Amino acid sequence: MRLSKNQKGRDFVVGDIHGNFNLLEIFLKDVTFNPEFDRIISVGDIIDRGPNSLEALDYLRKPWFYCVRGNHEAMLIGAQDRVYGMYELWMHNGGEWSDEASDELLNEMAGCYRELPYIIEVETEQGKVGIVHADMPNSRSWDETLEAIENNKMRDKEMQVFLWSRDTYRKLRMCQEYPGAIKETSIDGVHKIYVGHSIVQTPVAYGNVMFIDTGAYTSGKLSIVDISNDEVIIVQAA
């Protein structure tokens, strides 16, 4: 999905919500969010582990809320499609809330999640900004990756990188634990890429990949970034 430059409002990228929509509501109030002009772009994993996964559909229907597919959305899809072992994997990773939902509702959610893009690109004053759930294949530039997806030339194994990979996160940890051990690299052709999936104490970058999942379901902290100026806002319930 490509979003044109927001000429009238603000664009915010939000980390993994995991059903903690109460934290997002606190943020919307604190920044006087204007649904006419402002936009929220989620790095995915808006369901599971937190208390209000059933609210996810309501947000996906809002014209100002955009979201990429995360691995938790992928697990719900796989469970509904009866993919071998996927239901059990989902139950081990926070899908228990689905016991309260009807099959009709779960099928509706799966249908919505199948429409979610793997990547969102936003035009900004600084250039292209990308939003991906977990990671990027580091063998391609940004434009090469998008072209491969659009022309169905990307292998399934590479597509799974967007949902599950922690390769770049491991490089980040290596840099943190052993400064100078490896040289940071960036993805060519894009100003910055925001990802979730791997929990960090505070948003941090490796090259031009910025990790913004601060563990809303464990720490109670939801991180949001204003992509016009890289201002980080951390919301925590009282």
- The structure tokens 């997806």 sit at 149
Strands 39-42, 65-67: pairing is parallel
CATH code, domain with 44: 3.60.21.10
Give the range of the structural domain holding residue 179, as residue numbers without chain letter: 2-236
User: What is the spatial distance between Cα 23 and Cα 221, in angstroms, rounded to a whole number?
Assistant: 8
Residues with a known catalytic role: 72
User: What is the tally of structural domains in the chain?
Assistant: 1
Locate 5 and state its tokens: 């430059």
* pLDDT at site 142: 96
Reading the chain (238 residues) residue by residue, the pLDDT tens digits are 999 999 999 999 999 999 999 999 999 999 999 999 999 999 999 999 999 999 999 999 999 999 999 999 999 999 999 999 999 999 999 999 999 899 999 999 999 999 999 999 999 999 999 999 999 987 789 999 999 999 999 888 889 999 999 999 999 999 999 887 788 899 999 999 999 999 999 999 999 999 999 999 999 999 999 998 999 999 998 7
pLDDT of the residue at 180: 79
Residue 127: CB atoms within 10 Å:
11
Rounded-to-integer distance, Cα 47 and Cα 108, Å = 14
pLDDT score recorded for residue 183: 84
Torsion angles phi and psi, residue 196, rounded to 5: -120, -135
pLDDT, position 165: 97
Q: Cα 61 to chain center, whole Å?
A: 17
Q: Residue type for 89, please?
A: L
DSSP bridge pairs for 231: 226
Contact partners, residue 92, CB within 8 Å, separation at least 6: none
